[in-house]
A and B are shown apart, each in its own frame.
Chain A
């Protein structure tokens, strides 16, 4: 992640000039993207840290793909960025992908930035570990930052093996002082410490085996490196959090069984974080009713549950019930709603997203994030005043 500055503008300019000057014919590449103004309104007035009750933001993404060397190689760029009116931590550019890949029969070699997703769940993606989460973007952690890596893959009839070496560790990004929602105290970026003596220069390692057996999609993975999730230690003199990144050794398993309209999903990890070992499992079912009431509409129901044997984990005994409505019309109208329930203390939060194409190259999004009953002891109690609605319009190029 690069903070928007003179340096980042130069870097973008250099990439642009390289692309412009490279001898690529018009038919050999694809380029597309979108730019998306957004506005948010918070329902409970000002935030508890004095944050504004409205926000403006502009978000964008660009993708470039080119096949080289008679299609034996591929070069791709996927860059995204945001300029946020309130939160300085949301003024950034990130090369999600900036990679060169070479394909040779059963072998693949890659170098550069990439986004690697592991897992099957809709909500609780506990196996997914390669990329750092961008929590400033979204608390759920599904928004990621590009990870620099070199990887080698081998596929055969019995499955695919991937080996990753990762460098250039990215610290987790959190909302800044004026961000909303934000943690009780700011994150002190000058006091970051690591368990590894190599600190952020540590080369992380991961391996994954994945295969498809009829209706089963199976993945088995292991990761060894700096944990993406820091421990946040309150510092009584600076009144900020000092982040500490332990070494994580995590083995993960993910399985999906697809039987007609039923999807059955399971993710499980066994992890050693610093000196502590913990287990977590998350899974659920998804069922879709197709062509409800003799229309083209589909209605999907998603139920997922997460267990973690650490009592202090924010997600240790939580469930989600989701509905996904797909109108299957010309405007691709969809509505997704999920109710997140902490079964331990009966806290709940509703997340809803509506989207619809309003012109050939314009799409409207309306997102709701609404806090319901939240217990005082719950981790999310600090965000209780941060219920909001966000309106976004994406213009595609």
Chain B
């Protein structure tokens, strides 16, 4: 009888333990579900416009177009091509990236002035992208594999109940020490606050203009980035985003860059 009760207790304790996940487990689960809901795009093409606004209200425009190819390998990152269009002095420049989850990416840059493809260091994932407040690291900011997670509870945001998640980058060259974000009930990121290497609040990205693509995947078509340290703002907009367009993975190789450049 004694041993019977003991076994019962063990079962109860184990079950309680399973149901009540730790904050870390729950954070990871929400982040993983959110990330998984953006997968299956296969490939995508888009045009992107950045408006860089300084504290005095001066604006400059950047224009690029992009192609992405989804990597089905659960331990590796996607491939991307960025075609620079504006400012005009960088027109014709193309950047190819093979991203990796917690390692440096492989990146090649085609420089039209030299007619040369250069393999470049990608340790600067946290650097300013085209002088904006967004960094290359932020484009894969929803990839749960790049962070350790912690669930902080629920919070109301624009009259919706959101999950509040704290995350810590695993990548050693990350520009951040911590992020605090809100994810809504449809698992869409709504805003993320970024803390710099010293632990100070650096910037907030607001994810806006959510659109349901191919009746299955939500993407935010606007990132509004507010830098709290220098008061610059970047509005990053996606236009003409198309998924599953039938791109060939071979287009995302160094050996094919000449097909895409002058």
State whether these chains interact: yes
Q: Which of B163-214 contact A (CB under 8 A)?
A: 173, 175, 198
User: Are A290 and B259 in contact, CB atoms less than 8 angstroms apart?
Assistant: no
A394 close to B89 (CB less than 8 A): yes
**Contact between chains at B131 and A396 (CB < 8 Å):** no
Contact A96-B89, Cβ < 8 Å, known A260-B121, A288-B124, A290-B127: no
B256 touches A155 (CB 8 A): yes
**Which residue of chain B is the closest to A144 with respect to CB atoms?**
B115
Known: A260-B104, A396-B91. A329 touches B259 (CB 8 A): no
Instruction: Report, as a range, how many residues of chain B touch the other chain.
Output: 35 or more
Out of B90, B92, B175, name the residue touching A63 (CB < 8 Å).
B92
Q: Are B114 and A360 in contact, with the CB atoms below 8 A?
A: no
**Contact of A155 with B127 at beta-carbon distance under 8 Å, contacts A63-B112, A117-B114 already known:** no
Taking a contact as CB atoms closer than 8 A, the residue among B92, B106, B128, B256 that contacts A32 in the complex is: B92
**Known contacts A155-B253, A290-B127, A296-B128; A258 and B88 CB within 8 A of each other:** no
Asked whether any CB of chain A lies closer than 8 Å to the CB of B87, the reply is: yes
- Determine the chain B residues whose CB is within 8 A of the CB of A34 once the complex forms: 88-89
A17 within 8 A of B: no
A78 at the interface (CB under 8 A from B): yes
Q: Which residues of B contact A120 (CB under 8 A)?
A: 119
B248 (CB) vs chain A CBs: closest residue: A105
- In this assembly, does B254 line the interface, its C-beta being within 8 Å of a C-beta of chain A? yes
Least Cβ distance of A126 to chain B in Å? 15
Residue B9, interface by CB 8 Å: no
Whether B88 contacts A260 by the Cβ 8 Å rule is no
B-chain residues with CB within 8 Å of residue A360 when the two chains form the complex: 60-61, 86-88
Given contacts A74-B259, A103-B259, A261-B121, contact A117 B116 (CB under 8 A): yes
CA distance A173 to B152 in the complex (A): 69
For window 63-104 of chain A, which residues contact chain B by CB distance below 8 Å? 63, 65, 74, 76, 78, 96-97, 101, 103
- Asked if A123 is at the interface (CB within 8 A of a chain B CB), the reply is no
Over the window 228-262 of chain B, the binary record of Cβ atoms lying under 8 Å from chain A Cβ atoms (1 yes, 0 no) is 00000000000000000000001001111011001
Number of A-B contacts (CB under 8 A): 105
Interface membership of A346, Cβ < 8 A: no
Is A328 engaged at the interface, CB distance under 8 Å to the other chain?
yes
Contact B121 A263 (CB under 8 A): yes
Residues of A within 8 A of B104 (CB): 260
In the complex, B126 has a CB within 8 A of chain A? yes
Of all chain B residues, the one with the shortest Cβ separation from A296 is B128
14 pairs of residues in contact across A and B, judged by CB atoms under 8 Å? A32-B88, A74-B259, A155-B253, A159-B255, A288-B121, A290-B173, A291-B126, A294-B198, A328-B127, A330-B60, A357-B89, A360-B86, A360-B88, A363-B89
Q: Which residues of A contact B (CB under 8 A)?
A: 32, 34, 63, 65, 74, 76, 78, 96-97, 101, 103, 106, 108, 115-117, 120, 142, 144, 155, 159-160, 210, 212, 215, 217, 256, 258, 260-263, 286, 288, 290-291, 294, 296, 298, 328-332, 357, 360-361, 363, 394, 396-397
Q: Which residues of B contact A (CB under 8 A)?
A: 52, 54, 60-61, 86-92, 104, 106, 112, 114-117, 119-121, 123-124, 126-128, 131, 173, 175, 198, 250, 253-256, 258-259, 262
